[in-house]
Structures are given as C-alpha cells and as structure tokens.
A and B are shown apart, each in its own frame.
Chain A
Amino acid sequence: MKKELVTFDHVSFAYASENVVDDVSFSVHEADFIGLIGQNGSGKTTLLKLMTGLLEPSSGHITRLSRHLVGYVPQKSSQTGRHFPITCEELVLQGRIAKRGLFSMLSKNDQKKAWQALDAVGLLEKKNELVRELSGGQQQRVFIARALASEPKLLILDEPTVGVDEASQEEFYMLLAALRREKHLAIIIVSHDVEVVIREVNSLLCMNRTLVYHGIPEKFVEGNYAEQMYGKGKKFIHHEH
C-alpha cells in the first residue's frame, strides 16, 4: 500500500456564499502522477490553493504534508524573475530559504542542493545567467528546479506548459518522468491541454466545482465525462505509446 501524502475528506470552499469547490474527496499517494483538468472557473486553482495550504476549507478536512515537503510552481504570470534581474542560482536558492529559517545565512550545503536541482533540470551550466534571458521552456525548468531544491515529496505545477513550444513541451514531460523515476516524486499537474495530459499521467482529477471524474485516464476517454465537463461534441483521441 502506497503512503498517502494528501487527503481531501468532503472538502468544500466558498468565496462569499457560493461554493467554488463542493464536497471533494480524494487522496494523493506517493509517486502518483495526477492530471487536474477542468474549464476556467471550475475550481482547479482553488483546489491547488487548498492543497498547498494557501486556503483553508469552509467545511470538510484536509490532511496535508508539512509545508517544506511541497514544491509549488505557480502560473507564469506571477513569476517576478521574468522581469527583475536574478540569476538561475539565486532563484533556485530561494527554495532553500524557508528550510534554513530566520536569521541564518544560506550555507555551502544549500548551494550544493541548488546546483543539484539545476543539474536535475539540465540547466547547471546556466547557473550564473539571468532568468529573464532564458527561453520560455528553460525558464519553466528553473522554476521547477527551485521547487526541487526544497527536496519535496509532492510537486504541484499550475499550467506549466502555457506559452512553451511543442518541442520543449515534450522535453518537459520527459523531465517529469525522470523526476518521478529518480526522486520518487508525486506530481500534480494542472493543464488546459487535456489531450496531452491524458496521454502522460496515470490518474485524472476532473473538476467542475465538484469532482466529476477521478480515476485512470483510459476510463475517462471511454466514458462521456468530457461532455459533462466541456459540453457536447468534444471527444478525445487516446494515443498508445
């Protein structure tokens, strides 16, 4: 039996009086690779914020990992490194800051961990370059390296492939596969690109305020869940590989 990392037990969350997440229950286990899909406004981002502890549920209960075991990579728009001068190494070192604690300096060991994280995403030789001067795909990998530097058990990625070209996207999924293999990471990935996600992950969570579907991607394709989520006429093609 694989260890449970996060458990949602009848969790609801309301802004004002309307539930944007309604009675959701599921668990994330060690080494899971979960795709979280759903339309805009379906409650995906709220679910992530509940999972990371940025929000607390209005009702129900969440069992979470302790904070430093969660690596969180938010959507692109919030990433200041894209306009402010910061080197890859400086950005990845941020992942060590909370671990080190107040009033103490980062150590040689922290730097070593940062370099290992950069190496894991294949960007060690760019450590002294500015993040804003990297390509979109490379920037995405630096932000993942920062999450890795904190040595998490769970990696949460919010829309990581937006604005990344197709070749880099393929590389990106290869990187995730390698991380799962080598570091036994559980990964949750939010994406609009449902067809790609279905091909890659081994478990799907489909949100439409509540959990419409939770299970293996194959069953999702066979069932009519896509219509429930996106309206009629939407079909998915399943690729074997």
Chain B
Amino acid sequence: MLEIFEYSFMIRAFSAGAIIGLLAPLIGTFLVARRYSLIADSLAHVSLAGVAIGLITGIYPVYTALGTTIIAALLIEQLRSSKRLSGESALAIFLSGGLAVAITLIGLANGFNVNLFSYLFGSIATVQNIDVWVIAGLGVTVGGIIILLYKELFFLSFEEEVAIVQGVPAKVMNSMLMILTAVTVALSMRIVGALLVGALMVIPVIAAMQVARSFKATVFYAVGLGFVSVWAGLFAAYYLNIPAGGAIVLSSLALLLGSMLLRR
C-alpha cells in the first residue's frame, strides 16, 4: 500500500474529497447551463461569515456555514425571481457582503488564526471524522435529490420560461437547486477552501463541455473530471507539500487545457 494511505488524516481527506469531487461538478453542470456559475463564489464568501459565527460561538463551523449559505441562497433566489435586482447584482452584493460580515465578526472576536485559514484555503490535515461523516451524509442526500429532480432541473437550466409555460414547478425547483448549491458549497469548503469552491464546481464542467457529445455525457465527464481533479490534487498536496485547494484547482485547470486541446 502507498505510504500516503497509512495516515488516517489522508484517508479522511481522500474519502471526503471523493464525495466533494463528484458532487460539486454535478451541481455545477446545472449552474453553468443557466450561466449562473458565479453563485458558487458568492455563497462561498457568505459561508465564511457562517464559519466566523461558528468560531465565535463554539458551534461546529460547518453547521453554521450551512445555515448562513442556505439562507443567503434563498434570499438571492428571491431577489432574482422577483426581478428587483438582476441576478448578477444580487450575486455581487452577497459576495462582498458575506466577506465583510466574516471579517468584521472575526476581527471583533480577535480570531484571525490557523483555524480560519483552514476554511479559507482548505486544509486536509485538519479534516476530522465528523467532517467526513457530515460530508458523506449530506453528500448522499444532495446527490439523491438531484437524481430525483434531474429532468426538471435539466429543463429549467436550459430554458426557464419554456419550462414554466409547460407547467414545470419552477419556483420550488429553483429554490431547491439553490439549497443544494448552498449545501455543496458549505461542504466543499473543508477540502478546497471557500475561495476555491467555485472553481471545483465550474472548471470540470467547462472541461467536459469541450468534448462531450450530449448533455448526459457532459454530466458524466464533469463528475469524473471533478473526482480526478480532487484526488490528483490531494496526491500532489501530500508529496509536494503544497496547499490542497490550490493543487486541486490546478489539476482541474490542467484537465481543462487537455480537453481544449483534444477538441481542436
């Protein structure tokens, strides 16, 4: 057996990473199709505010991050669908607003420390058993819901108005997609870090789009490439002693480059 798997923290990182690697691009496919990829970044910044609340109150930060991202996701969807703000403006406001709240809270608590950085950039060494269990439990739930609602999410992501005209329950479905995105963002943070979550949701999808010959193939390739990116990144992080988040996203970028060359 490889030396890398003799460390229990690496096994935890690979298990949690596998789930995140599969889940993030699966959600990402629907977001990219509706040209809404930036929502992942906005929610990731909001999730930092949740982490700050957790660090201050002593509650497990992934839980507080889940709470704040879900609330923010529903607010963004409300603003977008009511047309009071364009989707893009809503995203920009929550992106900077979330970060501002996070910085202020952490400053008040005088808490700029290693623990915070592990959420900003991801940290495989600090992944705990509880992280793996929460990621596994919620990851399977999110994946299951996506499979159940696959055809409606697929239609809405391509053409919301036509889907609504034909009677697809858009309000419920869109809110559901936002909640699933929020959960995925909050879970991914432990592995890739809040600042790079968006990349893992989007880059494997764009890579898949270069070579796929159908929507279904795009989904499968994106999920496969996401998984490969995470594991390749974790190996690189361990052997080259570099931060995992960066290594994972650089792996996905390498795969994107490869797929673009393949398409030509």
Given contacts A84-B215, A87-B214, contact A94 B158 (CB under 8 A): yes
Q: Is the CB of A67 within 8 A of B167?
A: yes
A203 located at the interface, meaning its Cβ lies under 8 Å from any Cβ of chain B in the complex: no
Q: List chain A residues, Cβ under 8 A from B209.
A: 84-85
Closest Cβ–Cβ distance, residue B235 to chain A (whole Å): 30
Cα–Cα, bound, A53→B155 (Å): 18
Q: Is the CB of A85 within 8 A of B162?
A: no
Secondary structure dominating the interface of B = helix
Cα–Cα, bound, A94→B159 (Å): 10
Given contacts A78-B159, A80-B157, contact A67 B166 (CB under 8 A): yes
Q: Which of B128-136, B146-154, B182-190 sits within the interface?
A: B146-154
Cα–Cα, bound, A100→B155 (Å): 13
Q: List chain B residues, Cβ under 8 A from A80.
A: 33-35, 157-159
Q: Is the CB of A97 within 8 A of B168?
A: yes
In the complex formed, the residue of B with least CB distance to A74 is B161
Q: Is the CB of B161 within 8 A of A98?
A: no
Q: List chain A residues, Cβ under 8 A from B215.
A: 84-87, 90
B2 located at the interface, meaning its Cβ lies under 8 Å from any Cβ of chain A in the complex: no
B264 located at the interface, meaning its Cβ lies under 8 Å from any Cβ of chain A in the complex: no
Cα–Cα, bound, A95→B159 (Å): 11
Kindly supply a per-residue 1/0 record for chain B positions 152-180, scoring 1 wherever the CB is within 8 Å of any chain A CB and 0 otherwise: 10110111011111111100000000000
Q: List chain A residues, Cβ under 8 A from B162.
A: 72-74, 94, 146-147
| Number of residues on chain A facing chain B (CB within 8 A) | 34
In the complex formed, the residue of B with least CB distance to A152 is B166
Kindly supply a per-residue 1/0 record for chain A positions 56-100, scoring 1 wherever the CB is within 8 Å of any chain B CB and 0 otherwise: 000000000001101011100011110011110011001101111
Closest Cβ–Cβ distance, residue B243 to chain A (whole Å): 32
Q: Is the CB of B168 within 8 A of A85?
A: no
Cα–Cα, bound, A103→B144 (Å): 12
Q: List chain A residues, Cβ under 8 A from B214.
A: 85-87, 90, 128, 130
Cα–Cα, bound, A106→B167 (Å): 16
Cα–Cα, bound, A91→B151 (Å): 11
In the complex formed, the residue of B with least CB distance to A103 is B148
Cα–Cα, bound, A130→B216 (Å): 12
B212 located at the interface, meaning its Cβ lies under 8 Å from any Cβ of chain A in the complex: yes
Q: Is the CB of B166 within 8 A of A95?
A: yes
Q: Is the CB of B158 within 8 A of A86?
A: yes
Closest Cβ–Cβ distance, residue A99 to chain B (whole Å): 8
Q: Is the CB of A98 within 8 A of B159?
A: no
Interface residues of A in 27-69 (CB under 8 A from B): 52-54, 67-68
Given contacts A84-B33, A85-B213, contact A67 B158 (CB under 8 A): no
Q: List chain A residues, Cβ under 8 A from B169.
A: 102
Closest Cβ–Cβ distance, residue B133 to chain A (whole Å): 28
Q: List chain B residues, Cβ under 8 A from A86.
A: 158, 214-215
Q: List chain A residues, Cβ under 8 A from B212.
A: 85
Closest Cβ–Cβ distance, residue A54 to chain B (whole Å): 6
B217 located at the interface, meaning its Cβ lies under 8 Å from any Cβ of chain A in the complex: yes
Cα–Cα, bound, A67→B169 (Å): 12
Q: Is the CB of A130 within 8 A of B213?
A: yes
Closest Cβ–Cβ distance, residue A141 to chain B (whole Å): 16
Q: Is the CB of B165 within 8 A of A53?
A: yes
Cα–Cα, bound, A103→B149 (Å): 7
Cα–Cα, bound, A84→B157 (Å): 10
Please report A residues at the B interface, Cβ cutoff 8 Å. 52-54, 67-68, 70, 72-74, 78-81, 84-87, 90-91, 94-95, 97-100, 102-103, 105-106, 128, 130, 146-147, 150
In the assembled complex, 10 residue pairs joining A and B whose CB atoms fall closer than 8 Å, in A order, are A53-B165, A67-B166, A79-B159, A85-B215, A87-B213, A90-B215, A94-B154, A94-B162, A94-B163, A98-B155
Pick the 8 closest A-B CB pairs, nearest first: A98-B166, A67-B167, A98-B167, A72-B165, A80-B158, A86-B215, A52-B165, A87-B214
Please report B residues at the A interface, Cβ cutoff 8 Å. 32-35, 148-149, 151-152, 154-155, 157-159, 161-169, 209, 212-218
